[in-house]
Amino acid sequence: MTRISTLGQNQFILRQTLQTQERLLSLQRQMSTGERSEDFKGLRGDSTVLISAQARKAATEQLLANNVQTKTKLDLRERAVREIVEIAKNIKSEFLSAEGIENSSQLVIQAQIGLQQVVSILNSRDQNGNFIFAGSRTDTAPVTSVPSGAPPPAFTLTFNNDTIVEQANVDENLTISVGVLAATNPTTPTGSFQPLIDILNFFAAGVFPPPLPAEPLPAATAPTVTAAQALTLIDQAFDTVNALDASLGISQQLVDEANERLQADIDLTDEFITSLKDVDVAEVFTQLSQEQFALEASFQITGRLSDLSLIQFLRI
């Protein structure tokens, strides 16, 4: 062996050169992909933390996606109830206009139209064809209406909905009611819409003003309450429907607030995942430059050593 080195030294220099090349290739891959590693193995201890963060993000995204459907359901119900609120406003206006007038035919007509509209709204369907006020029933309209034949009342209404109110988890620790029932007790109809339906049904029969709820329905020629008492009943019916509208508005706000929290959580989790997976481009570029310089220096040293021998020194 003529060169000034030993086999061990040659192997050491070669090994250092190969390691530098490996680090250089890794840095080049990071520069091109922007990620620290192609798989979890390259992340070492951070891999478990990354898997946990990705699972949390996926669960949060699923909640957010579910809330989009929940918000759609609430919006649909709120619009429907808002229409019924407007019907209640209109019947009050018609009542005030008809007060003191013997011929209240216009009030009768408006009450008949209003009652038909309320029944139609309560029998409305969502985008999937399901009744939105029927609870979990999908095969039967929640309200059926037929003329009674001998007023009052003008129509006989039957409620067919069940009593199951749909609920939704809008956040990890928040569950809200989404469903609204046409009648909370279909056997003996009660609920948010019942007072308004009773008022409309009585007016539609041509009896003016309506009776008190606790009293039996009178003959068409014998109203048992004053106009002031009738107005109180109308206001109570309006307040009941309006309270439901307000409740739906609160639920919509809760979903919006939950969505903001969920989106903020997703954004924070994204930042955390990025810190685990992605590289600092400036730092990698600096390391890449250093490794390139080291590799060039290693090649230069190897080249010089290959040219050195004892013969050269003996000649000197």
**pLDDT for 86 beyond 90:** yes
Distance CA 296, CA 301 (A): 9
Rounded mean pLDDT of 200-228?
66
- Give the chain's domain count: 1
The pLDDT value given to residue 263: 93
Q: Flag whether 315 is in a domain.
A: no
Provide the percentage of residues in the chain whose pLDDT is more than 70. 64
- Phi/psi for 10 (5° steps) reads -60, -45
Query: Could you list the residue range(s) of the whole structural domain that residue 127 is in?
Result: 54-270
Q: Flag whether 306 is in a domain.
A: no
135 conformational bin, left if phi > 0, alpha if psi -120 to 50, beta if neither: left
Cα four-point dihedral sign 74, 80, 84, 87: positive
Q: Note the helical H segments in the chain.
A: 7-33, 46-98, 105-122, 194-204, 227-277, 281-307, 310-315
The pLDDT value given to residue 287: 64
Q: Flag whether 109 is in a domain.
A: yes
Q: Flag whether 234 is in a domain.
A: yes
Cα four-point dihedral sign 203, 206, 207, 209: positive
Distance CA 130, CA 76 (A): 12
Q: What is the pTM of this model?
A: 0.71
**pLDDT for 246 beyond 50:** yes
Q: Flag whether 220 is in a domain.
A: yes
Distance CA 254, CA 233 (A): 32
Helix (H, G, I), strand (E, B) or coil at 175: strand
**pLDDT for 265 beyond 80:** yes
Distance CA 180, CA 36 (A): 52
Q: What is the pLDDT confidence band of residue 138, given thresholds at 50, 70 and 90?
A: confident
Give which of 255, 54, 75 is closest to 168, Cα–Cα.
255
Q: What is the pLDDT confidence band of residue 14, given thresholds at 50, 70 and 90?
A: low
Provide the percentage of residues in the chain whose pLDDT is more than 90. 41
At residue 144's C-alpha, the angle toward residues 139 and 145, to 5°, is: 165
The pLDDT value given to residue 1: 42
Q: Flag whether 10 is in a domain.
A: no
Furthest C-alpha separation in the chain: 140
Residue type, 232: T
Helix (H, G, I), strand (E, B) or coil at 191: coil
Q: Flag whether 283 is in a domain.
A: no
The pLDDT value given to residue 307: 55
- What's the DSSP call for residue 186? S
Distance CA 60, CA 54 (A): 10
Give the residue with greater pLDDT, 228 vs 44. 228
Q: Flag whether 30 is in a domain.
A: no
Distance CA 298, CA 302 (A): 6
CATH number at 180 reads 1.20.1330.10
